[in-house]
Amino acid sequence: MDVSMRANVSMRANVSMREIVTALAPLNRALCSPGYDRALDYLCGLLPFQVLEFDPQQDYNGWVVPPYWEVLEARIERHGKLVYDGTRHPLAVIALSSPFRGRVSREQLRQHLFFDHRYPDSLPFHYRQQFRSWQRDWGFCVTRKLYDGLEEGDYDVIIETRESRQPLRMLELRLEGSRAETIAVCANLDHAGLANDGVAGVAVGVELFRRLARRERRFSYRLVLCQGIVGSEFYLGRQTEADRRRIFEAVCLWMLGSRTQLALQESRGARSNIEGALARALRDSGVDYRRGAFREIIVNDEYVWEAHGIPTASLSRYPYPEYHSSRDDADIIFADRLEEAADIVDRALLGLEATHIVRKRFSGTVCLSNPKYDLYVDAGQVAFGEDSGQERAALRRVMDLIPTLETPVTVASLADRVGLPEMRVERYLRGWEDKGLVTLE
């Protein structure tokens, strides 16, 4: 790491993860907005991020950059008295609301009011117009108590906004290692007014890259802080094929500050090495967690990364009671939970750095019993009453796995799959390497 990088990484290095969440959560971080830009500026003071910009005039796969949007004035009045202040919370006006000024009946007003059906006193997160900016309406998010308490009669509604066409912006930080293969870490920076959903993962990502920047690295790393779904799609879709192919695997960090249980979600087909490394880190740390298949725990940006051919796991604390409501604020964020999550991911990455990558150097199957290879593991024949023992049976599974590998795999991942110590699997694979069938890098 050069001197300038060391200087940049040390900038405001004493800011804790919880302080990051507390600073970012109250901002109205619509996908393109002044609040989102303030979040970018704040984070650029913590690490030497590059701000990526994407042309607002160009779509990608039908995804469009929404208007740059800001609420200037928003209220509901009756007989000249304020009924509701739409600037009281970033969720109080629906995201990307159209401007409106006029008098409406209670029934008409209620058609434009949205409340959280779970709680009488919280605001829901109404986000869908950001992904459908061609189909927009005006509206407020209110409490169920206010909605039910509206008296019959007419109401004056004022929603004044400012809009313009500006780029879709996101942050990327690259840390180069001795290898070109890159592990990407993704977190969402949008979700206006929310703390756990979005910026808790951002804070853990920042802390993780502070640690990575201070040590030697074999892998290269990217931290991508972007808008949910549309941000990941533009980020991956607008890269060159060569740059995208450098991404070995990815892990998404979601909602990591609450008291809820950690959840490890596997990549599609459970084929990533990082999910195994995370599982080992969780197991070795004695942390309570649950594990689920792809899309079994959460459906978020993982499917975008997977759609671009990148095996992607995630670590989250989903579900949690305050999800997508104004209850998701800094009060439900706990420093020890953020620290626990950062330690787990850090430990997983250290594990990946320490193990060898197995890269196949042949196609088809190889006659391993041929004397020029002599790598065949005979697991015995049941019909003859033969039992080769657990270790040989496990090595046979390694032997059968190698020809089916579609992407590089770590020795640690193979060892986990078959239930053998890593060193025993590595010793067997050295024979494959001696015959030129694989490389252990």
Percentage of the chain exceeding pLDDT 90: 93
C-alpha of 272 from chain center:
15
Q: Check whether 7 has a pLDDT greater than 50.
A: no
Q: pTM score, two decimals?
A: 0.94
Pairwise CA distance, residues 330 & 384, whole Å? 66
For residue 389, the model assigns a pLDDT of: 79
On average, the pLDDT of the chain sits at 94
> Token pair of 16, please?
């804790």
Contact 345, 223 (CB under 8 A): no
The token pair at 117 is 């059906």
pLDDT digits 0-9 by tens, 413-434: 999 999 999 999 999 999 999 9
Residue 141: pLDDT band with limits 50, 70, 90 = very high
CA atoms within 13 A on the CB side of 46: 28
Whether residue 9 is predicted with pLDDT greater than 80 in this model: the reply is no
Q: Give helix then strand counts, H and E, for the chain.
A: 14, 17
Going by C-alpha positions, the residue among 314, 414, 284, 321 that lies closest to residue 360 is 414
pLDDT at 379: 79
User: Is 96 in contact with 136 (CB distance < 8 Å)?
Assistant: yes
Has residue 52 got a pLDDT over 50?
yes
Domains by residue range for the chain, with CATH: 3-64+167-354 (3.40.630.10), 68-163 (3.50.30.90), 357-440 (no CATH)
pLDDT in tens, 90-105: 999 999 999 999 999 9
Is the pLDDT assigned to residue 437 strictly greater than 80?
yes
Contact, 67 vs 165, CB < 8 A?
yes
**Residue of higher predicted confidence among 388 and 178:** 178
Q: What's residue 382's pLDDT?
A: 58
pLDDT at residue 102 in the model: 98
State the Cα angle at 278 between 343 and 266, rounded to 5°: 140
Secondary structure (H, E, C), 47-88: CCCEEEEECCCCCECCECCCCEEEEEEEEEEECCEEEEECCC
Residue 1 predicted with pLDDT over 60:
no
pLDDT of residue 10: 43
Edge-first strand listing for the sheet containing 154-164: 81-85, 68-78, 154-164, 100-105
